[in-house]
Structure 1
Amino acid sequence: MRRKMVAGNWKMYGRRASARILAREIEDGLPAVLPIDVLVCPPAIYLEAIKGVLGESARVMLGAQDLCAQGEDGARTGEISGAMLLDTGVSHVLVGHSERRQLLGETNESVGAKLVAALDAGLIPILCVGETLAEREGLRTEAVVVTQLQAVVNVAGNDAFARCIVAYEPVWAIGTGRNATPDQAQAVHGFIRSWVAEQTDQEIADDLRILYGGSVKPDNAAALFAMPDVDGGLVGGASLKASDFIAICRMAGETARAGT
């Protein structure tokens, strides 16, 4: 059975002191034993500080929000390589978050290159895919998602899905207070798993963890996580409040124990 994950994307929020407090509250507030993976992704400048708080905790892993598409060291002012992230204690990295696609001009091709760089560095990439409201209303959700997935296959090969996590994040549900219903999320997650099975094999598809991201909150997490192809959440705003994030983690743990 796939192990559920709850990942907190702190985006560009916080200061050193508040980030350390948030990490400590999450670490202290989680149950001693939790049958899920928990990940926090603070701003890059605070990764080392948060690693100092978490130490070698088996309960909370450290993730980054982005990395350079060129893996080797070089004259790339302002960039951070996968090797640097790994050296800081990072285990996972987001690639292709919709905010980077929309606001910073990342393309499907550049996202694919970043995923390859993450894999080459020994990191686990969390590939973000999803459609805008106009694309959903135009009945193009599946076509958009396939284009985003295919771009990864084009540069990384089909076996990339054996070494990464996918996060479905409908753009229209990020930071808007709207979220896909459990049935809507399940429909896309199921589609992604079926597509991966067709491209690779059923075993890889069955093992692929697919997270839902888009206004995940304590009041909707349980219903989302109960869907058979929803393997946890990529949590934005609610990850900035320790009590909310811990509540979401507990709900993921309950659905994991229930076998859903």
Structure 2
Amino acid sequence: MAVLEGDNRSGQILYSCYHTRSRQGEQFIPEHIFGYQLAGTLSMNDGQKEYIFKEGDFRFCKRNHLIKFSKQPPRTGDFKSVSIYLDQETLRNVSLEYGYKAEKHIKGDPVLQLKPTKMYENYMNSLIPYDQIGQFANDHLQALKLKEAILLLLQTNPELRPVLFDFSEPGKIDLEGFMQKNFHFNVELKRFAYLTGRSLATFKRDFEKIFHVTPSRWLQQRRLQEAHYLIKEKGQAPSDVYLEVGFEDLSHFSFAFKKTYGVAPSRV
């Protein structure tokens, strides 16, 4: 697919093309995603498990999960992928039209590798003309393609039905355990609040009761603590560590690290 450098999004359909390795975007999946890897390798990590998708692989990513990802182009050529965002409104409409419901809540892995089928391949190939012109002709046509993707997933992977039509939101969970497990994800506080079943105000109030410090301050301290351990005990390079623990850029990480430990991370 011929797309520009970066991401080319036409509504709910996103084409990605990168000439160099890229780690980017907020590390939160807001909607279910049906994806196809055209070229290069996409690595995804939920903090517990790594998922790797190569050319020709299909994937399904569940909404409301934290994920880190890395896009690696092939030796010659560009990284290319297409992602279909299955938004809640579209899924609700399909649920009403066909009577689909989620009988039970399914957890499991947040990312699934789907078995390649000719139907999946034909569907993705049908999107090529719209990529070439840079956009869909109209919203109605895109809506039809989204509906087609949902019905195709249901026919080929019926076990996804409880996942696709589960419209519940995250319930209130143990905040301390969640944060200790997910501090290294670079997302806004409102995302942490949402995933722990709280409003932002309640999240901040509960957080300070537990940790006796503001969320922002605790996140920086915890990330620096983890970075110090990885550099000193595991011998990792600061240039690799800062992204892993949740910092956005190396200069900010180095400044905060030196301020806390009195020495630059490269000299630990």
Assess same fold via TM > 0.5.
no
TM-score bracket, normalised by the shorter chain, equals under 0.3
Structure 1 or 2: more helix by fraction? 1
TM-score computed with the length of structure 2 as normaliser: 0.25
TM-score computed with the length of structure 1 as normaliser: 0.25
Higher relative contact order (CA 8 A, sep 6+): 1
